[in-house]
Amino acid sequence: MEIVKVSSQGFCKGVIRAIAIINKALKNDNIRKPIYMLGGLVHNKHIINAYENKGIIIVDNINDIYEGTVIITAHGVSDSIIDLIKSRNLDILNTTCFDVIKTHNIIKEKINDGYDVLFYGKNTHPETKGVMGISEDIDLLNITNPKLFFATQTTMSYLDVIDMLKIIQNKYPHIDSYEEVCSATKVRQTALIEEAKNADLCIVVGDHKSNNTNKLKEVCLKHTSTPCVMVESIKDLESYDFSNVFRIVVTAGASTPPAIVDEIINGIKNNDFNSYLQDDDYLKIR
């Protein structure tokens, strides 16, 4: 059996930065306690659980925080949330991905210049919640503003973004746009399509809440004929039948710890579907 680890792999630069900031903060005795995290740092339960075990308190509502330090996750939040945190005299550890910050800044600039903004993203995703001016149904849109701008969530399928923009341009030829799918997402999707064409199975590793991980599976199923499964750990493959599988390609979401991917590859090779990873393994930055 041949197992191909699709490049690129590992944490994206935004996740590396976020984990590095928090790991450093946990070693700093001067950080005000308690330390809260507003939502999950990234969409990976292993990382979130590891930080909970290290004493970080995960909350979903800013109204639950009145003291200490607040971690803003890599997905970012709206300006109103930042203002509320500051008004409560809380310290902030801002780990927002620079690509997300760039998107927010562009949208705010366009709104200030009088544009209506169409935002393409998953409406339940934290990144989308942090953005203003969302429109969801193209057919129902009736926009007369000659200044129109199209923006996207950074973890969408770049191929879907291209298709979506073409549809919008048919209705609004004058629309301005900026391709904001992050490079890590685009590179992973492109590489997977190429590698999966000649495989018997594709394994996508990542959390089921991770949009960029889900998009990898969607891209594989949509643009190749290769069967694809999404797993969170080696234990998810315990009952999988590999008897007619001769070539496997393995890819992973941008917030998937590399240790999980390595354990899956080694586990398949050695027919061992137990996990031996510890909290610190999930938080290693390579």
CA distance 186 to 152: 13
Q: In this predicted structure, what is the pLDDT of residue 177?
A: 82
Question: In the 3-class helix/strand/coil scheme, how is 195-221 assigned residue by residue?
Answer: HHCCCCEEEEECCCCCHHHHHHHHHHH
pLDDT value of position 135: 40
Query: Phi/psi of residue 255, each to 5°?
Result: -110, 15
Query: How does pLDDT run across 12-37, given as a tens digit for each residue?
Result: 888 999 999 999 999 999 999 999 99
| Highest mean pLDDT out of 38-52, 134-148, 175-189, 262-276 | 262-276
Domain residue ranges in the chain: 2-11+184-282, 13-96, 99-177
Q: Of the listed 109, 127, 195, 218, which one is catalytic?
A: 127
pLDDT at 113 over 50: yes
Mean pLDDT calculated for residue range 201-210: 95
Whether cis (ω within 30° of 0) applies to the bond prior to 8 is yes
Signed CA dihedral, 32, 38, 42, 48: sign only: positive
Does residue 63 surpass a pLDDT of 60? yes
Residue range 237-256: mean pLDDT, rounded: 95
User: Which strands, in side-by-side order, build the sheet including 228-231?
Assistant: 2-5, 247-252, 201-205, 228-231
* CATH fold of 13-96: Rossmann fold (3.40.50)
Longest Cα separation, the chain: 62
Report residue 282's pLDDT band, with 50, 70 and 90 as the boundaries. Answer: very high
Percent of the chain with pLDDT over 90: 53
Asked if residue 247 has pLDDT above 90, the reply is yes
Q: Which residue has the higher pLDDT, 175 or 152?
A: 175
* Across 96-123, average pLDDT: 83
In angstroms, the CA 263 to CA 233 distance is 8
Q: Of 82-91, 103-112, 120-129, 160-169, which range is least confident? A: 120-129
> Residue 201's pLDDT is what?
98
Is residue 79 scored above 90 in pLDDT?
Answer: no
Q: Read off the pLDDT of each residue in 248-257 and give the average, rounded to a whole number.
A: 95
68 dihedral zone (left: phi>0; alpha: psi -120 to 50; beta): left
156 contacts 179 by C-beta, under 8 angstroms: no
Alpha helices in 91-225 (DSSP H): 98-112, 126-129, 158-171, 183-196, 211-223
**Distance of alpha carbon 187 from alpha carbon 199, whole angstroms:** 19
Give the integer Cα–Cα distance in Å for 174 and 162.
Answer: 16
67 is known as an active-site residue: no
Which pLDDT does position 140 carry in this prediction? 55
Q: pLDDT > 70: what percent of the chain? A: 89
pTM exceeds 0.75, yes or no: yes
Buried b (16+ CB within 10 A) or exposed e, 53-81: eeebebeeebeebeeebbbbbbbbbeeeb
The helix (run of H) or strand (run of E) holding residue 176 is strand 176-177
Least confident of 68-82, 109-123, 130-144: 130-144
Range scoring the smallest mean pLDDT among 44-53, 113-122, 237-246, 258-267: 113-122
| Count of beta carbons in the 10 Å neighbourhood of residue 139 | 6
Token couple for 26 = 């946990």
Residue 134 pLDDT greater than 70, yes or no: no
- What would be the CATH architecture of the domain defined by 2-11+184-282? 3-Layer(aba) Sandwich (3.40)
Give the mean model confidence (pLDDT) for residues 196-217: 92
Span 99-177 CATH architecture: 3-Layer(aba) Sandwich (3.40)
Average pLDDT along the chain: 87
pLDDT band at 133 (very low <50, low <70, confident <90, very high): very low
The residues with which 176 forms a beta bridge, in sequence order, are 149
pLDDT score at 136: 47
